[in-house]
Structure 1
Amino acid sequence: MISAYITTHEGLVPVDTWEDGCWIKVVNPTEKEISLLVERFGVWVEFFTDPLDVDERARFEVDEGNVLILIRSPRREPEEAVIPYITLPIGIILTGHVIITVTLTEVDVLDEFLSGWVRNFDTRTRTRFALQICYRTALRFLRYLKDINRMSSQIEMNLHRSTTNVLLLDLFNLHKSLVFFTTSLRSNSLMVEKFSYSNILEMTDEEHDLYEEMVIENKQALEMANIYTSIIMGMTGTFASIINNNVNVVMKLLTSITILISLPTLIASIYGMNVHLPLQDNPFAFSFIMFCAVAASALGLFILVRWKVL
């Protein structure tokens, strides 16, 4: 799917033609659409196909004045998904007249620009717009990292009283998301740092300031991802032991209850035999037997409490 937008005095508006200064948004293009774009702008076909590979690493390439910036961006998965967050590549193609973004699916970062969440951007200033996409990507990483930290804290609270592995699996899936984030952020940081000495982008002073902020946010996001990964790895082992301990506590309680119930059951079983028994002709035999059963259970409870079993 191909759509085009341009910034005017009314804001970002869709356009029907690929005019100079517009932003061409390409999502999961067909071979026919790719051929049309390649023919129209004279760009390598790989510039359009590489961002469609979910495992493509962050990098940049230059071909006859056209620049491909490939950056990995986070995406929140639907609630029914096993892994809550993944990363996908975004291809940013800078030509002499337009800026083109290529993605396999809709991504959260680009939706921010379409929804009006991001202000002060202009599709006609292609370098600044590309830097803003990279900057918003770093901020999106930070936002999702905070969400992951909040989710892990909630899981931690529930794990204290859990006796199943469901929450541990949730924690493991969060760890997978953090691994994706860490790998992508490391790749993004290496690619972004190359901007400073590659001179592929001619930046104004204002754009250079934006670039510096982007580098800082990328480093901060990478540090946070590493910290949260270490925390969750430690939590996984710790809470696996806690769950085992919770199961042991439950088993100990059930065993103690079984012992306390077995004592009156033993007495009742003896007096249920079809043989001559003491007190069988006594009118107070039932009361005496019940008293003995309760006393045996009380004595057993006292012993278990004294031994700190309960």
Structure 2
Amino acid sequence: MLTIYKTHSGVFSETKEFEDGVWIDLAHPSMEEIHLIAEKYQIDADDIIAILDDEETSRVEQQTGYTFILVDIPSEEIRHERIAYTTIPLGVFLTDKAIITVCADESDIFSSFVRRTTQSFSTKKQTRFVYQLLYAVAIEYQRLLRYIDRSRQEIENRAINNQARDTDLIDLHELESNLVYFTASLKSNMLVIDRLVRYERIKQYSEDKELLDDVVIENKQAVEMTDIYINIIHGSRELISNIINDKLNRVMKLLTAVTLVMGIPTIISGLYGMNVDGRWMPLSQIQHGFGIICGGITVICVLVLLIMKKRKLL
């Protein structure tokens, strides 16, 4: 989908014309749209197509007539029948006449990006556009990281309150996978930002220096948050594993105790069921012998239970 935006007298709006100083957004573009933009702005079509590959790495390239910036942005997907997060490439082409963004999927980052920067946003200020976009990407990473941590806390609270689910360990693994994708992409984006600081092809303005500093700070904070949350998830997974193992041990201990206690009447009834002369079996000639034997079995079982409980074996 191809969408063209422009700002005029501080008003941000959508347009249909390929004017100078516009922002062209290509979201999940068709080959016709790719070749149209490549031909109109003298961009190598292979550079645009490369952005659609999920494995493309973040980088800054200087080509004849344009500058190509590629960063990773967070994206939602369904993995193992669960909502999960991964990262996809976002490309920014800076030409003399337009700013062109390319992404394989439609992203909510652009809507929040424009909403957050409306007052100071201009499609004609390319440097500020790039910095504002990178700032919005870093903020989106932080938002999703906090959401992931809240999900981790919910799983951990269930485990502590003995309400753990069978899928909690799998859910933790999915959260950890999300963080692995995030940390790799954030560190790659940090390299791009570091290069932009020193990149002479993009004209630097003194009024944008503070914004660039904010971009660096927010991206570093996102990297640190990711590293911290990964370590916390490792601890949560060990905690839940220990709780599950402890529950299993308690069940095995209970079953062992029940088996031991139930073995007492089994042994006694087995002895009395042996095919021998009844004269040699204790209490066999007494009128209430069966009741006495059952009572004795009960007393023995109760004593065994009390001994096991006293020694904390039950």
Q: Amino acid of the residue matched to residue 166 of structure 1?
A: T
Distance 2:249 2:257 in 1: 12
Match of 2:309 in 1: 305
| Mapped partners of 2:9, 2:299: distance in 1 | 90
* Contiguous gaps of at least 5 residues in structure 1: none
Partner of 1:29: 29
Are the equivalent residues in 2 in contact too, given 1:163–1:247 (CA < 8 A)? no
The aligned residue for residue 143 of structure 2 is: 143
Report percent identity of matched pairs: 35
Q: CA RMSD for the aligned pairs?
A: 2.8
1:74/1:108 contact within 8 Å kept: no
2:99 alignment partner in structure 1: 99
Is the 2:117–2:132 Cα contact (8 Å) retained in structure 1?
no
Give a deviation string over 1:6-44, Cα, whole Å, max 9, x none. 235695432222222322111222222211111111112
Taking structure 2 as the reference length, the TM-score comes to: 0.86
2:214 corresponding residue in structure 1: 213
Contact 1:3–1:24 (CA<8 Å) still a contact in 2? yes
Counterpart in the other structure of 2:244 = 243
Give the residue type in structure 2 aligned to 1:251.
M
Match of 2:57 in 1: 57
**Counterpart secondary structure, 2:57:** coil
Q: Distance in 1 between matches of 2:249 and 2:165?
A: 12
More off after superposition, 102-111 vs 254-263? 254-263
My pick for the range that moved more, 228-237 or 268-277, is 268-277
Between the aligned partners of 1:272 and 1:90, the Cα distance in structure 2 is 81
| DSSP 3-state at the match of 1:84 | strand
Q: Deviation per CA, 1:211-268, whole angstroms, max 9, x where unpaired?
A: 1100011111111111222232344445434433332222112221222333344455
The CA deviation at 1:158 is: 3.2
Q: What is the Cα deviation at residue 88 of structure 1?
A: 0.9
Structure-1 residue corresponding to 2:205: 204
Amino acid paired to 1:171:
L
1:294 aligns with 298
In 1, Cα distance between the equivalents of 2:164 and 2:286? 50
Rounded to whole Å, the distance in 2 between the matches of 1:20 and 1:283 is 113
2:155 touches 2:164 (CA, 8 Å); kept in 1? no
State the alpha-carbon separation in 2 of the partners of residues 69 and 137 from structure 1.
Answer: 14
1:34-113 paired onto structure 2 within 5 Å = 34-78=34-78, 81-82=81-82, 84-113=84-113
Query: Counterpart of 1:180?
Result: 181
Structure 2: any 5+ residue segments left out of the alignment? none
Change beyond 3 A, Cα 1:131–1:77 = same
| Cα drift, residue 284 of structure 1 | 4.5
Alpha-carbon distance in 2 for matches of 1:245, 1:164: 15
Q: Aligned partners of 2:38, 2:164: CA distance in 1, in Å? A: 58
Corresponding residue for 1:133?
133
Q: Which amino acid aligns with 2:131?
A: L
Amino acid at match of 1:46: D
Partner of 2:109, secondary structure, is: helix
Partner Cα separation in structure 2 for residue 300 and residue 240 of structure 1? 32
TM-score, L = length of structure 1: 0.87
Distance (Å, rounded) in 2 between the aligned partners of 1:204 and 1:305: 77
Secondary structure in 2 matching 1:20: coil
> 2:172 is aligned with what amino acid?
L
* Structure 1 residues 158 and 210, CA gap change in structure 2 (3 angstroms): same
Q: Which amino acid aligns with 2:61?
A: E
Aligned residues: 309
Q: How does 1:160-175 map to 2 (within 5 A)?
A: 160=160, 161=162, 166-175=167-176
Amino acid at match of 1:77: E
Q: Equivalent residue for 2:157?
A: 157
Question: Matches of 2:197 and 2:157 in 1, distance apart?
Answer: 45
Three-state SS of the structure 2 residue aligned to 1:93 is strand
